[in-house]
Amino acid sequence: MAPLHSVNAAVHALAALLIQGRGRYARTFENVVLALIIFSVASIGIDSIAGLPLWATRALAIAEVVIVAVFSFEYLLRIIAAPRKLAFIFSFEGIVDLLAIAPFFVARVDTRWVRALRLLRLLRLLKLQTHMLETTVAERTAELAAKNALLEEAQAQIKAELSVARELQIAILPATFPARPGCDSAARMIPATTMGGDFYDFIELQNGQVGLVMADVSGKGVPAAFFMAVARTTLRELASHYSDPGTCLARANELLFRQNPMDLFVTVFYCILDPTSGVVRYANGGHNPPLLRRPDGSVEALNGAGGLVLGAMPGVEYPEHSVRLLAGDRLVMYTDGVTEAFNTSDEAYGTERLVAEIRAHGDGAASDLVERICRSVATFAGAAPQSDDITLIVLTWKRVEAATLP
Amino acid sequence: MIERRATVPGDAAQLSALTEFLRDFWSSADLAPAQFTSFELALEEVFTNIVMHGSQPGRVPQVEVSLVLAGDGLTMTVEDDGPQFDPLSLPPPDITAGLEDRPVGGLGVFLIRQIMDAVSYQRIGTRNQLRITKHVTR
Amino acid sequence: MNVRLETVGQTTLVIPEGRLDFGSAALFEKQLEQAFVRKPTGPAAVIIDCAGLEYVSSAGLRAFLLAARTAQRAGCQFALCGLQPSVRDVFELSGFSRIITIYADRAAALAHAPTAQP
């Protein structure tokens, strides 16, 4: 039985190679068959030439035998290769192929008719064309799909990495103000859809003092995020060495100006709070001046000239100012993501609305006010997308009672 | 922060386009009109210097102007990709000289220095970068 | 920018209008040259009425300087008048106000110019 199996297997393999395959062998076989079809049809014409020499007639007859042999071989292989044999045998293609050879085996039929019938096999030419076209289209589609898949994968990877970077950027922002008697502070940063450069910082300094930073980097995306990290680290480091806000900003500006390959700028408001006295010393580098709410509800911006945005120009000076907080005073630091939040009618939230919000609701916990402001901005903006980071710090200073001092 | 950028080829005919750009920025940033002329003048002086000194045979430099308003400070940066040229290195004109002795050129940079708060120049790679800052009122 | 020339007796009045910048400086210079041409001996004075001049840059200043020199060499009086505040500032800053005579308005300038017919 074994030899029969291997013959069976061999025949199937041959059918697969010559009929089903897309490789060189199948294509060559197909071309040979087509050439024979064409020759076979042409030979009808040659045959009808009167006075054809004997050798020619004989040659044609031999050719006919060869052709029928090849076509029969092909026909058998097609049946073997066909997934549904009967379907193939009775299909148009199958019948045409059979008609092309059958009459040869049936006696008393004029071979010229047989050969004419072979014209039908020319339909195979068309079929080959379509087949080749389909193959090409299928190949190109498969190529495109593969390339698309690669692109989508790459894009998804970039998105994932950027998302991680963004989370890191937000995660490194300090969550809370360091505990100090008499101080209640809250902060919030709501990132915009693209990577931005807003940041805030609380820095523990000597003698219980606390440095507060509110900053905004120009531009967007990865360069802004990078510069934000550099600016924050630089300020933190300098704050531990220079106890004057103005000097701190001036030195930070020098360092940032010198390492600024992307030509970015950062606005910085930096203040140092003495929690026992309520004195706030501050300097401003191009940032929105914070708002101060007194217990009676009045709100005003911290005044005092500021210096230039950091990173733009060497040798800039940052004048220093100070304000003495009174019991119940609230300081609100913000970035222009709040005041420049636009609604669908292209109106900006503006400073007036912010002041109104602070005036009306600024007498509760710091975190309450932060929440209220954020909600107010969100309600105002409505469906309009958030184009800029929204960053806020609220600091309430309740004078430390004498009894609680160490 | 309000930031805007414009890029034009460095030929004299583009000056009006740049002035328009500056004008648009001024109105959208809601800045006081009184100081507009100072910046208009500074922009022209910087740009015309680039046009005069920045051309090479067969090549006109690309000029990029960026404006950044942060707080009360306006920063104008003009970059071009022409050959190295530091306008601040030009000798200042002697403004005390009499009519006959006054040199005809060199006034542009001098004026910029007078009307602006600070000017700085850097050569960054293949670009000249001139930056000008001034305190403005809104 | 456009430039008009008028004659008031022995004086040529030059009246520029618009912006005097890098683009229009060449035109201004040409018109100024024309102002000094007057048969047979040239004008006795050339006055530039800048009331309509909105803006002047260093290119414009250059043209004024060259005209002032031409006037001096020709022995002709030369003055400006009607400078708008921002233009006046530029003249002051560049030190030009010290080497060129500036009057408040046209009337004042003409009052000092020789207008009597020869």
- On whether the CB atoms of residues A272 and A250 are closer than 8 A, the answer is no
Partners of B3 in the β-ladder: B68
Nearest to C58 among B15, B40, B108 (CB): B108
- Domain shared by A117 and A186, yes or no: no
Task: Establish if A126 belongs to a structural domain.
Answer: yes
Nearest to B111 among C23, C58, C68 (CB): C58
- On whether the CB atoms of residues A394 and A364 are closer than 8 A, the answer is no
Residue A316: list chain B partners with CB under 8 A. Answer: 118
Nearest to C69 among B47, B96, B100 (CB): B100
- Domain shared by A107 and A245, yes or no: no
Task: Establish if A355 belongs to a structural domain.
Answer: yes
From A90, A110, A138, the end of a domain falls on A138
Task: Establish if A133 belongs to a structural domain.
Answer: yes
Q: Is the pLDDT at C118 greater than 60, yes or no?
A: no
Structure token pair of residue A155:
């894009």
Tell me the average pLDDT across B92-101. 84
Test C99 with B98 for CB contact under 8 angstroms.
Answer: yes
From A120, A138, A156, the end of a domain falls on A138
Test A265 with B131 for CB contact under 8 angstroms.
Answer: no
Domains of chain C, CATH where assigned? 2-111 (3.30.750.24)
Question: What is the distance, to the nearest Å, from the Cα of residue C42 to the centroid of all Cα atoms in its chain?
Answer: 15
C101 by DSSP, 3-state: which? strand
Task: Establish if A170 belongs to a structural domain.
Answer: no
Test B16 with C23 for CB contact under 8 angstroms.
Answer: yes
A376 by DSSP, 3-state: which? helix
* Alpha-carbon span B64 to B50, nearest angstrom: 11
B126 to chain C, minimum CA–CA distance in Å? 26
- Answer with the residue of higher pLDDT: B81 or C42: B81
Q: Which domain holds residue A90?
A: 2-138
B114 by DSSP, 3-state: which? helix
| Closest-CA residue of chain B to A197 | B1
Complex-level ipTM beyond the 0.95 threshold: no
Residue A107 confidence class, pLDDT cut points 50, 70, 90:
low
Q: How many domains does chain A have?
A: 2
- Beta-carbon pairs below 8 A across chains B and C: 58
Task: Note whether A touches C: 3 CB pairs or more under 8 A.
Answer: no
State the CATH class of domain B2-135: alpha beta
Domain residue spans in chain B? 2-135
Kindly list the partner chains of chain B, i.e. chains with 3 or more CB atom pairs below 8 Å: A, C
- Domain shared by A335 and A208, yes or no: yes
Instruction: Average the pLDDT over each of A153-167, A265-279, A285-299, C81-95 and give the range with the smallest value.
Output: A153-167
Residue C53: the pLDDT is 96
- Domain shared by A202 and A305, yes or no: yes
C22 to chain B, minimum CA–CA distance in Å? 7
From A109, A138, A167, the end of a domain falls on A138
Tell me the average pLDDT across A321-339. 96
Residue B121: the pLDDT is 96
Selection from A171, A271, A267, A177 nearest residue A227 by Cα: A267
- Domain shared by A211 and A313, yes or no: yes
Tell me the average pLDDT across C18-47. 89
* Alpha-carbon span A387 to A265, nearest angstrom: 18
Tell me the average pLDDT across B21-32. 95
B16 to chain A, minimum CA–CA distance in Å? 26
Residue A1: the pLDDT is 55
- Answer with the residue of higher pLDDT: B78 or C39: B78
